[in-house]
Amino acid sequence: MMEDLTNVYPVLLAGGSGTRLWPVSRELYPKQLVKFIGDESLIQSTIGRLTPVLATENIRIVCGQEHFYEIARHMEEIGIASNEKIISEPCGRNTAPAILLAMLLILKQEEDAVLCIFPADHVIRNIDAFHAKLRSAIKLAKMDYIVTFGITPHYPETGYGYIEGTGKLPEQAFALKRFVEKPDLKTAKYYLESGNFFWNSGMFAFKASVMIGELETHHPELLKKMQQLDLTAKGVSLESYEQLPNISIDYAVMEKTDKGAVLPSDFGWSDIGSWKSLYDFLPKDAGGNVIDGDVITNDTQNCFILGYERLIATNSIQNMVVVETPDSVFVSDIETSRDVKSIVASLKEKGRREYQKHKTVHHPWGTFTVLEIQDDFRISKLIVYPGSALQIKTDAWAAKQLFVLKGQVKTTLENQDKLLNKGQSVDLSANQAAVLENPGTEPLIMIEIKLTV
């Protein structure tokens, strides 16, 4: 007899910016939205591996408001309706508030809900093994355990926190004894040899009612403040959400609860926390290289080379990361590539746009790509999705011309509607606004020339 899983809700945490994967991952386009290698973004593959165990209609995704529409588009791309499945936070307050927000909204629909929490930007190689552990975790959760997936370590990793288990529980799980911070190499080797220490994956399963009870005991301030918020369709205000404690679920509950269970899991997991960890996860060629894009190599071994737009040619290099995007190139020794985080901090401090966004910026209506910027003009490319519309404005000191490269556009300018086809254009003088709409079934492509007047 198949177990009833209709009350199980997978909650994907899609916050964070993934600065250790710059220049591909950026503040406004974090790593969960990136298609690093292959046809799916990390969030799409995370959703995909939940089936057939869990129902896609029960999926909930918690994200920042600035990523709402792009996450919705990624869901629609893989055939999953995004309506009422995306929960946006007005600001990031760590994992405990994000999980509690989702939990309270789910409890409005399902009083006996079981939640499975997954970061949206991790990868798993062995899906069958993952499904088996997922079913075990749900069984334990229904026994009132708060389950954390503990990843079986195969080498002494110093970049992860660990969880110690003790005493046997059902489903080959351990009782949760303690969380420990990222260890030094000597301690990590001891953990590996001990056999009851596991990497902290940030994945959980629990009854909502049990977690509510633990929050009442261990962090009543967070629970009380969240329950006082307006969780209706209006959305949570930034002012109110900023008042919540900035705390992880580990600190708020998991390190204090006596209901914790560690489920040993060995299914090829990685948090893709750096270029090195992505390199380790992906298959290599005969030279030990991971290569994607327009790349020519000569005498190149054990390198990660990723290109998006230009030709990359390498000669006589080993153990390197080379990542090219339209506006930035990152080159590093592969072992220390996680230190790119300090470069991102420097870019932010200097006010450089490269820390925050790409040349291509995603909007609900489509994409906007800056092709060239000079003192007196800017040339950009707009792609407008079928059925979508946007408003274009000019300042007192600028004029714009929009030229149709592909498709058809309906323009509304000075209350006049006009259809433009390939090769036609519309001009906006200073202090004008126009609405551009794609009435067709294919993407509309336009070039925008902005001139200083």
Question: In the 3-class helix/strand/coil scheme, how is 40-84 assigned residue by residue?
Answer: CCHHHHHHHCCCCCCCHHHCEEEEEHHHHHHHHHHHHHCCCCCCC
Tell me how far CA of residue 122 lies from CA of 70, 156, 269, in angstroms. Answer: 18, 20, 7
Tell me how far CA of residue 289 lies from CA of 55, 226, 285, 314, 317, in angstroms. Answer: 38, 48, 5, 12, 11
CATH superfamily of 360-452: Jelly Rolls (2.60.120.10)
CATH superfamily of 8-270: Spore Coat Polysaccharide Biosynthesis Protein SpsA; Chain A (3.90.550.10)
How far apart, in whole angstroms, are the C-alpha atoms of residue 229 and residue 239?
A: 11
pLDDT of 356-381, one tens digit each? 999 998 898 999 999 999 999 999 99
Q: Please, which pLDDT band fits residue 39 given cuts at 50, 70 and 90? A: confident
Q: Is the pLDDT of residue 1 over 50?
A: no
Contacts 24+ apart (CB under 8 A), 367-371: 371/447
pLDDT of 310-363, one tens digit each? 999 999 999 999 999 999 999 999 999 999 999 999 999 999 999 999 999 889
Residues with Cβ within 8 Å of 130's Cβ and at least 6 positions away in sequence, in order, are 49, 124, 265, 267
Q: Is the pLDDT of residue 391 over 70?
A: yes
Q: Is the pLDDT of residue 2 over 60?
A: no
Q: Is the pLDDT of residue 17 over 80?
A: no
- pLDDT of the residue at 427: 95
The mean per-residue pLDDT over the stretch 396-401 comes to 94
Angle ∠(188,193,197) on CA atoms, nearest 5: 65
Contact 363, 390 (CB under 8 A): yes
User: In one letter, which amino acid is 353?
Assistant: R
- pLDDT of the residue at 236: 81
- pLDDT of the residue at 234: 66
The mean per-residue pLDDT over the stretch 379-405 comes to 96
Find tokens 């380790």 and name the residue: 280
pLDDT of 185-203, one tens digit each? 999 999 999 999 999 999 9
Contact 91, 239 (CB under 8 A): no
pLDDT of 278-291, one tens digit each? 999 999 999 999 99
How far apart, in whole angstroms, are the C-alpha atoms of residue 62 and residue 99?
A: 8
- pLDDT of the residue at 141: 98
- pLDDT of the residue at 130: 98
- pLDDT of the residue at 337: 95
- pLDDT of the residue at 453: 77
Q: Is the pLDDT of residue 31 over 90?
A: yes
Sequence spans of domains, the chain: 8-270, 275-349, 360-452
- pLDDT of the residue at 233: 59
Regarding predicted confidence, which is higher, 235 or 306?
A: 306
Q: Please, which pLDDT band fits residue 4 given cuts at 50, 70 and 90? A: confident
Residues with Cβ within 8 Å of 334's Cβ and at least 6 positions away in sequence, in order, are 275, 276, 279, 302, 303, 304, 319, 320, 321
The mean per-residue pLDDT over the stretch 133-158 comes to 96
Stated pTM of the model: 0.89
Name the average pLDDT for the chain.
Answer: 94
DSSP for residue 94:
-
